[in-house]
Amino acid sequence: MAFQLTVDDLPDLVRGAALLGTGGGGDPQIGRVLVAHALGERSITILSPEDLDDDALVIPTAMMGAPSVLLERLPRGTEPVDALRRLEAQIGRPASATMPIESGGINSTIPLLVAAQTGLPVVDADGMGRAFPELQMETFAIYGIDGSPLAIADERGYTAVVDTGADNRRMEAYARAVTVRMGGVGYIAEYAMSGADVKRTAIPGTLSLALRLGRTLREAREGHRDPIDALAEMLPDTLYRHGSRLFTGKVVDVDRRTEGGFTRGVARLAAFESDSSCEVEFQNEFLVARVDGQVRTVVPDLITALHLETGEPITAESLRYGQRVCVFAIATPEIMRTAAALEAFGPQAFGLAEEFVPVEHISAPLGGGA
């Protein structure tokens, strides 16, 4: 069902998107202000995948690079539309809608910025149902869509086109190299596809889900309920089915660097009233959470860090010493757990030794867990 999105929806939307962004996907506040500033009093048309004609051309738009760089080097604002226009010229056809490639504080909002600037509608779906660090890690790719050609733009108005045919891994590698030379962040248009392909390969309803998640957290806070409890109660009724607390404690160390066009590192947490500890590794997104050395959640299940009192999601680049945090795990949708999906974005795709075990099958929390 199509609906209109206005500036008043943005705070809930970015909060929910940052939650699905699982530590990555970019800073939600930058995403919110970016769209609010461009949109003013107008509204954006959000289309369900079913609203699309089968032969409609949908071109997803996104930011690519290190979220830690974005915190400082904010966009000029013209980059995503420059990338879109460059790709339209390459393909020889104008887009009839844009779409997010992933859910996250920035990457759910870049298509909204494009919509605010061009009047295009945005499809309520994406290719990850969460955020992942690399461009081949898309349900689009797994179910047969080529990411190429890809257009990338920077704030100088320069663009580049990467065309690696059906090889989405090389598309990622080449585009990443350009991103690094652009200063660590670039803006892209890729995975151009038909309306029929969106219906077949995208994870539907993730923008409206983000809105709902963000609203759940806010309303719990306003009603003086524990927002994290409210989240755990709401998830069973979504495509994600399950969410639970992994660990509650204080951030005691964040080892973080900008490397090869990613924000990489590890955060360590200590429990408040026991010797239990938790370690979360990240490459833009949180990849694996270990409590007292035992794996408790691993990619592609979602690991989120939430402010203990407010339930506000914290991105990996914003984690800092002394924060009081709840590490919360969410089961990924089943479409993301097939053999083909796990090959693209399971633990091995990140060089982790662990096998994927669904979070709902890993035993109940111990020690410092909630």
Would you tell me which residues interact with another protein (CB under 8 A)? Answer: 29-30, 33-34, 36-38, 66, 68-69, 71-78, 155-157, 183-184, 224, 253-258, 307-310, 312, 318, 320-325
Q: Which is nearer to another protein, 141 or 178 (CB)?
A: 178
Smallest gap from residue 31 Cβ to another protein (A): 11
Smallest gap from residue 322 Cβ to another protein (A): 6
Measured between alpha carbons, how far is 326 from 312 in angstroms, rounded to an integer? 10
Smallest gap from residue 309 Cβ to another protein (A): 6
- DSSP for 244-297? EEEEEEEEEEEEEEEETTEEEEEEEEEESSSS-EEEEEEESEEEEEEETTEEEE
Distance (Å) of CA 137 to CA 16, 107, 142, 346: 21, 14, 8, 9
Measured between alpha carbons, how far is 348 from 299 in angstroms, rounded to an integer? 9
Q: Which is nearer to another protein, 93 or 257 (CB)?
A: 257
Smallest gap from residue 79 Cβ to another protein (A): 9
Tokens standing for residue 166: 């059906």
Q: Which is nearer to another protein, 294 or 321 (CB)?
A: 321
Smallest gap from residue 113 Cβ to another protein (A): 8
Q: Which is nearer to another protein, 66 or 235 (CB)?
A: 66
Q: Which is nearer to another protein, 66 or 202 (CB)?
A: 66
Measured between alpha carbons, how far is 24 from 314 in angstroms, rounded to an integer? 9
Tokens standing for residue 72: 């400082």
Query: Collapsing DSSP states into helix, strand and coil, what is residue 126?
Result: strand
Q: Which is nearer to another protein, 117 or 194 (CB)?
A: 117
H helix count then E strand count, the chain: 11, 19
Smallest gap from residue 168 Cβ to another protein (A): 27
CA atoms lying within 13 Å on the CB side of residue 21: 30
